[in-house]
Structure 1
Amino acid sequence: MIPHYSSALLISDIHLTPSMPLTAQRFFDFCEKEAPKVEAVFILGDLFEYWVGDDAGLLSPFQQEVKRAIATLSTKVKTYYMHGNRDFLVGNDYLSKTGMTLLSDPCKVSIGGAEYVLSHGDGLCTADVGYQIFRSWVRKPWIQKLFLRMPLKWRRAIANHLRSNSMVQYQRYASAAPEKNLLRSNVTQTACAALLAAQNSNKLIHGHTHLPTHHVEHFNEQEWQRWVLSDWDLDHPESVMPKASALLIDEQGVRYLDLIKA
């Protein structure tokens, strides 16, 4: 049976890290001010910049503050969590201590009287064949078990190396062929159509692409609506406009909530 709520807020791609204190503070404020006003909060992945195991933040004051904020929120509203491409190693220990309930990707929920399919979104970027191969490997349980048995120092080094390589590759593609890079890093209509057909739905919500907007799309006989969640960044005004929003759904419908002006 799918979860049913009269109201909910959905967020993703907060990329929490000590090096982005303004973004982190806005998340703490969100947990305290906006989130308790609805029945449920859905965090659709990439809450953290990266996650190399539940043990990694034990001695981090920043991570302890994040954990307290989420744990407090979970006592006020039902809080759901979905793995993203940066934090798919968030485990049962962290979920238990924060009170969050893990969602499968994809999953279906009912909010405000309508049903929606939720996904982080990276699995829908099927034009990036290389990434999909990488994703299929790192999501294997035995690979994850091997990684989590490594010393924490090694895990952090591997994560930083992968992040660095990913950034270099993205910049290379973006400068050489910006239009192709946009197609490569975005979801495909064929993937969205297949997912919604399998879920018997015509409403999709996801994050990952950092391209927040509402789409009405068609593919063959299918028609659907797609809402993309915003990433958050209040710490780099020199390179990007400040970004922070949530998707609010209730009986009045679906709308974006600007968390910068709030």
Structure 2
Amino acid sequence: MSLQFASALFISDLHLTPSMPLTAQRFFDFCEKDAPKVDAVFILGDLFEYWVGDDASSQSPFQQEVKRALANLANKTKTFYMHGNRDFLIGSDFLKKTGMTLLADPTVVEISGEKYVLCHGDSLCTADVGYQVFRTWVRKSWVQKLFFQLPVSWRRAIANHLRSNSHAQYQRGIRNSYAQNQIKTNVTLEACGAILRAHSGSNLIHGHTHLPNHHHEHLGEQRWQRWVLSDWDLDHPESTSPRSNALLINNQGVRTLDLIKT
């Protein structure tokens, strides 16, 4: 599939959940007002805080509301979705009902004449060996089939347990060694360089790390630019500054949109 557009918006890591209503409302406004202004919208994973199956979403009024917002958006502009580490179980039924097109991780796109390699970003965190082993196993189709055979309530309990464990491990890592934990949970130059070499690219866009920035990087003679997408959080100002950003690419170049101020 060759993807070429004159303009596009990129978002990721919204972690939508009913317990974050301000973040969810900004997403609904984004779908209604901001996103239709460009030729394509790319959601690079972790749209939801967790996803335990398309069948479970029918029991969630909140996820149904998100589905309707996405379907309305897809009627106005091309909308693409890439699995994240929290919602990689989003399946064909949900995608069909929203009108979104699923992208492989990674995918190459051309926006306004420039080529970009897109990925969620978790596959680039190769310093976290334990996570990479876990990621390999949970992406196996037979493991997912076994998971889907469990009752929805069990699946939700497992997802909540995994989220709690992940948060606890992150907090322990910070207490033991903040610097080491930052290295472990961030992408590596080696992984970024490898994915760009594999796709003959020099521009990389990803999310996952919650460390929004624009980097100019190199590894030996290889040089590239890397844009890290922001996570969204308008509901916890006591712990961090509110965040709601998108990356815009058009004939004027690449720039970050602060969606709180728009």
TM superposition score normalised by structure 1: 0.99
The superposition leaves residues 71-130 of structure 1 with CA deviations (integer Å, 9 ceiling, x where unpaired) of 000000000000000000000000000000000000100001100000000000000000
Please state whether the residue corresponding to 1:214 is helix, strand or coil: strand
> Aligned partners of 1:71, 1:235: CA distance in 2, in Å?
25
Percentage of pairs with the same residue: 70
Counting only pairs closer than 5 Å after superposition, residues 1-262 of structure 1 correspond to structure 2 as: 1-262=1-262
The superposition leaves residues 147-176 of structure 1 with CA deviations (integer Å, 9 ceiling, x where unpaired) of 011110110111011100010000000111
Displacement of 1:59 after TM fit? 2.4
Output the aligned Cα RMSD. Answer: 0.6
Displacement of 1:56 after TM fit? 1.1
> Aligned partners of 1:160, 1:62: CA distance in 2, in Å?
17
> Aligned partners of 2:172, 2:9: CA distance in 1, in Å?
35
Q: Structure 1, unaligned stretches of length 5 or more?
A: none
Amino acid at match of 1:220: G
> Aligned partners of 2:72, 2:27: CA distance in 1, in Å?
13
Q: How many residues align?
A: 262
Displacement of 1:195 after TM fit? 0.5
> Aligned partners of 1:143, 1:57: CA distance in 2, in Å?
20
Please state whether the residue corresponding to 1:33 is helix, strand or coil: helix
Amino acid at match of 2:157: A
> Aligned partners of 2:64, 2:196: CA distance in 1, in Å?
38
> Aligned partners of 1:260, 1:33: CA distance in 2, in Å?
13
Please state whether the residue corresponding to 1:41 is helix, strand or coil: strand
Structure 1 moving runs of 4+ over 4 Å: none
Amino acid at match of 1:208: H
Displacement of 1:16 after TM fit? 0.3
Displacement of 1:55 after TM fit? 1.0
The superposition leaves residues 164-221 of structure 1 with CA deviations (integer Å, 9 ceiling, x where unpaired) of 0010000000111001100000000000000000000000000000000100000011
> Aligned partners of 1:2, 1:214: CA distance in 2, in Å?
26
> Aligned partners of 2:26, 2:104: CA distance in 1, in Å?
27
Displacement of 1:62 after TM fit? 1.0
Please state whether the residue corresponding to 2:94 is helix, strand or coil: helix
Please state whether the residue corresponding to 1:115 is helix, strand or coil: strand
Please state whether the residue corresponding to 2:79 is helix, strand or coil: strand
Displacement of 1:249 after TM fit? 0.3
> Aligned partners of 1:186, 1:59: CA distance in 2, in Å?
35
Amino acid at match of 1:117: V
